[in-house]
């Protein structure tokens, strides 16, 4: 299975202390929320999963401003509690930073469901997509994406199995869900698409250029 493109760079504030998530092959993985501000003044709270391979190294502290470079990951939640599809960012690099906030994602994969075009009450077009991005070792991440306006119309013409390369940002969105007689507030995560490219365009213009450097 060919590995496809999956890169993310985030710069924001550690919103809570890191807590132990799980261990795999003797490596402890810690989870913490990262608050990344938007230009609108709102912020996205994104789940970061970081391996802690050197116990003597300190974990990121709440309030620290950091840069995270890694990959967007998904897994199916079979517990019946919370969202069925859980989206996290696996940190490959985690460093203190003094640069401006950043939220940029580059993905390359294939559509695994037909695009869904809809319209807001104010008449703006939205297109929902589900992108499958291969990992190594016969696994894949299934990542929900959303496009707006003219880009939504362009994405709506794609078909299942079509390749798609995109730039975007990872965003969080709260909503209310009725479970039995109770109403629960939940958070959904999705990639808001800012541009799409034909296959191979990302390699031609380079990763550093895609980050605006």
Which residues fall within 8 angstroms of residue 81, CB to CB, at 6 or more apart? none
Distance, in Å, from the CA atom of 118 to the CA atom of 167, rounded to the nearest integer, reads 21
pTM of the model: 0.86
Domain boundary among 78, 101, 124: 101
Whether residue 126 sits in one domain with residue 91:
no
Whether residue 205 sits in one domain with residue 117:
yes
pLDDT of 164 higher than 70: yes
Domain boundary among 101, 128, 160: 101
- Taking residue 95's Cβ as centre, other Cβ atoms within 10 Å add up to 11
Residue pair 174/148 in contact by the 8 Å Cβ criterion? no
Whether residue 136 sits in one domain with residue 89:
no
Whether residue 84 sits in one domain with residue 158:
no
Whether residue 136 sits in one domain with residue 84:
no
pLDDT tens digits for range 58-105: 899 999 999 999 999 998 876 555 567 889 999 999 999 999 999 999
Whether residue 95 sits in one domain with residue 119:
no
Whether residue 206 sits in one domain with residue 113:
yes
Domain count, the chain: 2
What's phi and psi for 60, nearest 5 deg? -60, 135
The closest of 53, 125, 137 to 92, measured between CA atoms, is 53
Q: What's the residue count for the chain?
A: 213
Confidence of residue 54 (pLDDT cuts 50, 70, 90): confident
pLDDT of 38 higher than 70: yes
The residue range of the domain holding 92 is 6-101
Whether residue 56 sits in one domain with residue 26:
yes
Number of H helices, E strands in the chain: 3, 12
Domain boundary among 46, 69, 101: 101
Whether residue 86 sits in one domain with residue 115:
no
pLDDT of residue 186: 80
pLDDT of 202 higher than 70: no
Let me know if residue 168 belongs to a domain. yes
pLDDT tens digits for range 178-194: 777 778 778 889 999 99
Whether residue 124 sits in one domain with residue 36:
no
pLDDT of residue 201: 55
Let me know if residue 1 belongs to a domain. no
Whether residue 145 sits in one domain with residue 194:
yes
Whether residue 113 sits in one domain with residue 206:
yes
């Amino acid at each position: 299975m060919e590995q496809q493109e999956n890169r993310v760079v985030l710069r924001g504030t550690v919103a809570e202390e890191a807590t132990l998530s799980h261990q795999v092959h003797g490596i402890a993985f810690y989870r913490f929320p990262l608050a990344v501000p938007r230009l609108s003044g709102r912020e996205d709270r994104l789940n970061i999963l970081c391996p802690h391979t050197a116990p003597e190294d300190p974990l990121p502290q709440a309030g620290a401003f950091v840069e995270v470079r890694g990959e967007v990951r998904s897994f199916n939640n079979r517990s019946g509690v919370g969202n069925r599809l859980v989206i996290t960012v696996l940190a490959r690099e985690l460093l203190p930073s003094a640069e401006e906030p950043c939220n940029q994602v580059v993905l390359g994969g294939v559509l695994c469901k037909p695009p869904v075009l809809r319209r807001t009450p104010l008449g703006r077009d939205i297109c929902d997509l589900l992108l499958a991005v291969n990992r190594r070792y016969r696994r894949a991440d299934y990542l929900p994406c959303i496009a707006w306006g003219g880009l939504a119309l362009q994405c709506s013409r794609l078909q299942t199995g079509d390749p798609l390369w995109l730039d975007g940002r990872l965003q969080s969105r709260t909503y209310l869900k009725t479970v039995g007689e109770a109403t629960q507030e939940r958070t959904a995560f999705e990639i808001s698409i800012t541009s799409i490219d034909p296959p191979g365009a990302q390699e031609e213009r380079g990763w550093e250029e895609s980050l605006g450097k």
